[in-house]
Amino acid sequence: MNEIFIDKIEPDYVGKRIDKLLSDILEIARNQIQNYIKGGFITVCDRRIEKSYRIKGSECIRIIIPPPKKIEIEPRDADIEIVFEDEDIVVVNKPPGLVVHPGAACEDISVVSALLYRGVELSNIGAPQRPGVVHRIDKDTSGVIILAKNDRVHFELAKQFFEHTIDRRYIGITSCHLKNVEGLLEKPIGRHPKNRKAFTVVNNGKPAKTQYKVIKKLANYDVVMFKLFTGRTHQIRVHMKYLGCPLLGDQVYGKASKDIVRQALHAFKLSFRHPKTGRKMVFYSKLPEDMFKIVVGG
């Protein structure tokens, strides 16, 4: 079993319930965190707590992540590129059409299955279906992502994502011309009331913040750079739909395109602090061929 010790509590966390806070940071179901608390796997200053315990700011929190009873993902290779790897993290360039981890569709091949096939150890957080997964990009979105190889590093990376200190940049192609060449969208996102597989801008949704800037105008489309300040599901796609200009080829929020068979979205930059050394790390991924042809073809 792996242990995580937290001896510094950020002021913003004070007053929050420990089960909700850890669930939000680690993106683990709240009832799973509550089961950890009930089982004594999460303690405060070596004392057992209730799930309703609220952070005071002077605690030392101990989290034990028990190993999964069964690894449910079969190692199977996929066409991924390992951009960087050390004893703590692995950075992967993901092609379009590949999921990060198995989901409701029970995909056999994923980034996780490919890493397991190659003998890469991943953290237990999120296991058995999502070991090592700190963040995700959509199946048909390409680009660079990071996974954690141990639980302590997983937590530290997840905290950077939670605190929005990780710099994530995307290149997208919109299906029409945007009204403004740049802007900052702060529109909350939640589950679509009629289509449960989609998301939309809703007043009671989770805060979502996207910055965008048109970097090239094509005959019928715009090439846009996006910066994410939050990481809601389908965030860029939903915000472009809200602006009335969905991503090219996005069949959930727009329509099919003769120019590309997927949503034209690519995660081209990921910048973060190494969770152990504190060194700033920046990784880039070049534009995939299907998007590159549209951009240069104009």
Q: What is the pLDDT of residues 239-292, one digit of tens each?
A: 999 999 999 999 999 999 999 999 999 999 999 999 999 999 999 999 999 999
For 156, phi and psi rounded to 5 degrees? -65, -40
Residue 13 lies in a domain: yes
pLDDT tens sequence across 180-211: 999 999 999 998 988 878 999 999 888 899 99
Residue 257 lies in a domain: yes
CATH at 107: 3.30.2350.10
Residue 106: band (very low, low, confident or very high) from pLDDT cuts 50, 70, 90: low
CA trace torsion 106, 110, 115, 117 (10° rounding): 60
Residue 288 lies in a domain: no
Question: Residues 81, 96: one domain?
Answer: yes
pLDDT of 298 higher than 70? no
Residue 68: band (very low, low, confident or very high) from pLDDT cuts 50, 70, 90: low
Give residue 184's domain range.
168-267
Residues with active-site annotation:
138
Give the total number of structural domains in the chain: 3
Residues 6+ positions from 81 with CB-CB distance below 8 Å: 92, 93
Residue 117 lies in a domain: yes
What's the pLDDT score for residue 269?
98
Is 297 strand, coil or helix? helix
Distance CA 278, CA 288 (A): 31
What's the pLDDT score for residue 234?
96
Asked if 239 and 185 touch (Cβ cutoff 8 Å), the reply is yes
Distance CA 90, CA 83 (A): 8
Question: Residues 206, 234: one domain?
Answer: yes
Tell me the pLDDT of the chain averaged across its residues.
Answer: 90
Question: Residues 90, 156: one domain?
Answer: yes
**More reliable by pLDDT, 1 or 211:** 211
